[in-house]
Amino acid sequence: LPEFDVVVISNYGKGTFLDVREYMKAAQKLDIPVLVDPKHTPFEHYRGAALIKPNRKEFEAVVGECRSDDELIEKGCQLIKKYDFGAVLVTRGHEGLTLIQKDQPATYISTQALEVFDVTGAGDTVISVLAASLAVNTPLIEAVKLSNIAAGIAVSKLGTVAVTRHELFDAVHADHLKGVLSEDQMVLAMESARRRGERIVMTNGCFDVLHAGHIYSLQQAKQHGDRLVVAVNDDDSVRRLKGQTRPINHLEDRMAVLAALECVDWAVSFSEDTPERLICRLLPDVLVKGSDYKEINAIAGAQCVLKNGGEVKALKLLESRSSSEVIKHLQPEYKKEGEL
């Protein structure tokens, strides 16, 4: 045992453990925390465990029926005191998890499952991810939350399945890897999308004053894949390309507007005159630009995408639409009002 950071005892009552108390004593002698999935074994056998994880049925078989959350928490506190547990984690199916700790408020964590196809192995998933997390010194509440997310993934599949590290990463970061991203976040988001088998399209531009031509082009681009990345020139890059009076809208505003469009999944900025370096790092499945590019090879990043087995497309543009023309049209009107 000395080489282990944590010990998990999952006692199915099938005769594997002749006397589980010997395992408990051995681990405790080495100050190794023990996590227990008790099944129907008397809780007395796990005295001193760092955490015990019964489901609600197993919990109530020991403490009696709990008619309310407060009663469940109170009886959990009594177990902690009686058996010197560090914590009691009650798994409650679709009702989520309740974590009860010594001298701390109880924590309720709602279920993360969007769809439930098979609950087989959900409890094992919770204790496994919990152990792996605590072994690397993750705070208990965070470890429980991670375990809950993993269980949500497990029950969404048929049969007994292992939740992969990538699946867990994607689920944890799902809300953070969308909309306006940094370049490094963009790499992670695209890796996640590829693991899901999604086809990624990329385009780029200044998008200073958004108009119908932009919307048309972005909608056309999205039709070539599942996800659309829009690379946006930062303010200095726009000034070098368009002149010192541009951009009209600063980078943060331009990216926020783009990310709000239904057809755009991600917006990421670049500081160079062209997005070639960024495209060569991200390597989308499809690179899209407007048909004003007569030669595919003239499109920044095209060679990298083609070499990687991707596609490069030049799509038809709406005629007579450009930010520059819109700005030229508006400037005299604003000057009359003293707004420029």
Catalytic residue among 84, 124, 170, 285: 124
> How far is 235 from 135, CA to CA, in rounded Å?
46
Torsion of CA 318, 288, 300, 231, to 10 degrees: 90
3-state secondary structure of 155: coil
Q: Which runs of consecutive H residues, i.e. helices, occur in 155-307?
A: 165-173, 183-195, 212-222, 235-242, 251-259, 276-282, 302-307
Does residue 69 carry a catalytic annotation? Answer: no
- DSSP for 81-137, written as a single string: HHHT-SEEEEE-GGG-EEEEETTS--EEE----S--S--TTHHHHHHHHHHHHHHTT
Tokens of 259: 């990310």
Q: Helices 140-154 and 165-173, interaxial angle, to 10°? A: 110
- DSSP for 272-310, written as a single string: SSSSHHHHHHH--SEEEEETT-SSGGGSTTHHHHHHTT-
* Burial bucket for residue 332 (CB in 10 Å: 0-12, 13-18, 19+): exposed
Report the catalytic residues: 124
